[in-house]
Amino acid sequence: MTITRDDVLIWIKDYARVVEENHIMLTNLDREIGDADHGANMRRGFKVVLEKLSSVEEKDIGAILKSVGMTLLSKVGGAAGPLYSTIFMKAGNTIGAKMEMEVGDWAQALDAGINGIAVLGKAQPNDKTMLDALYPALDALKTAINNGSSCGEALQKSAEAAHDGMLATIPLVARKGRASYLGERSAGHQDPGATSTYLLIKSAADVWADC
């Protein structure tokens, strides 16, 4: 089984719904260690993504993902705009003109997005950023694929690892972004970027469960 272009469109729409349902929670998390705008910014960005999706829904997966990335870059404020844009742009460039992809293609796309974020944000694991959810998600995905897990099983393991990575940010002291200004006071708070990223990975796992 494969992940089709239509599956990708359903995922983007589902994540927009998830952001809508969780934007207050995301903003409350950001209020503790950031600018209290992460949820509002993500909500605004994905509303515009939905508005523009019909103009690209007949195109290939790469073009769709790159369109999402460009929209987020222009509509999402703060650090989240460029970072989330990078995920989608790099993923789109990696997948290219395919109309369907294997779970291994998704792993390569996620890998490219993570590398792009690491370069852009100059962040590393345990810096208390979205990478602390993304790196475990990618590692678990690759391991599951190599162990012969089905597409759906691999995606589920990836989501579980992202969840654990998200929770692991709570005791960390932030070393990047607005939260780093708080120093030791940033410990004890869950990173909002890692949280929205976990929700992104979980949405893909839920929507593509039967891939």
pLDDT at 180: 74
Q: Which of 51-55, 119-123, 138-142, 175-179 has the lowest mean pLDDT?
A: 175-179
Average pLDDT value over all residues in the chain: 95
pLDDT at 118: 94
Domain ranges of the chain: 3-207
List Cα–Cα distances, 209 to 11, 17, 156, 167, 198, in angstroms.
11, 18, 8, 23, 16
* 47 closest CA partner among 25, 26, 72, 29: 72
* 103 closest CA partner among 29, 210, 196: 210
The CATH superfamily of 3-207 is DhaL domain (1.25.40.340)
pLDDT at 57 over 90: yes
CA 108 – CA 138 distance, rounded (Å): 9
Whether the model clears a pTM of 0.85, i.e. scores above it, the answer is: yes
Question: Which one-letter DSSP state was computed for residue 97?
Answer: T
User: Using one digit for the tens of pLDDT, what is the confidence trace for 143-158?
Assistant: 999 999 999 999 999 9
Burial of residue 51 (CB within 10 Å: 0-12, 13-18, 19+) is exposed
pLDDT at 178: 73
pLDDT at 175: 84
Phi then psi dihedrals of residue 69, to 5 deg:
-60, -45
